[in-house]
Amino acid sequence: HTYRSFLQNHQFYVYFTEIIETFASFPNVTFLWKYEIDDLDGILKSYRNIHIKEWFPQVDLLADPRLTIFITHGGMNSILEAIYYAKPMIVVPLFADQQCNSKNVERKGLGILLKRHLLNKKTLTNALKRIMGNKWVISDISFTTDCFLTLTSSKNFERIRCNP
């Protein structure tokens, strides 16, 4: 998903530069970023590892084994899709239920909550490194995926409970 849903370009610019600097500091990692403007008039030409488009097929990307971390705003559909495909998350909540969703992601060991007002190169870099080097997160998300697939079968659907 994109941060554009609730923030316009001028509101997001301060975060944009921090994110680009962070992504650029991982030259051997490819970053795909859904944003409202494709490639921002060539600003990213010097960054071969950063690709910005107005749209990406999110489910197809999550299903791809090469995708190792999913950075999301924490909408429930995105979280459920990430769990289904066993992708650890960095969640930057922006609005309404995303705050609660992101706390649950972190509490369950499925990813890291990164509050928007704390988003900068240092915090995003630390979050990426924590997930990249943490086998426990991968184990937790895989276990949760197995439980999710079992519980969401039609015969077990009534057993699903929401935790505050």
Q: What is the pLDDT of residues 142-164, one digit of tens each?
A: 777 777 666 655 555 445 444 44
Give domain status of residue 11, yes or no. Answer: yes
Q: What is the pLDDT of residues 110-132, one digit of tens each?
A: 899 999 889 999 999 999 999 88
CATH no. for residue 107?
A: 3.40.50.2000
Give domain status of residue 79, yes or no. Answer: yes
Domain that holds residue 65: 3-159
Cα separations in angstroms, 79 against 54, 69, 101, 123 = 20, 12, 8, 21
Give domain status of residue 25, yes or no. Answer: yes
Cα separations in angstroms, 108 against 9, 89, 101, 164 = 33, 11, 11, 12
Give domain status of residue 164, yes or no. Answer: no
Q: Is the pTM of this model over 0.85?
A: no
* Structural domains in the chain (count): 1
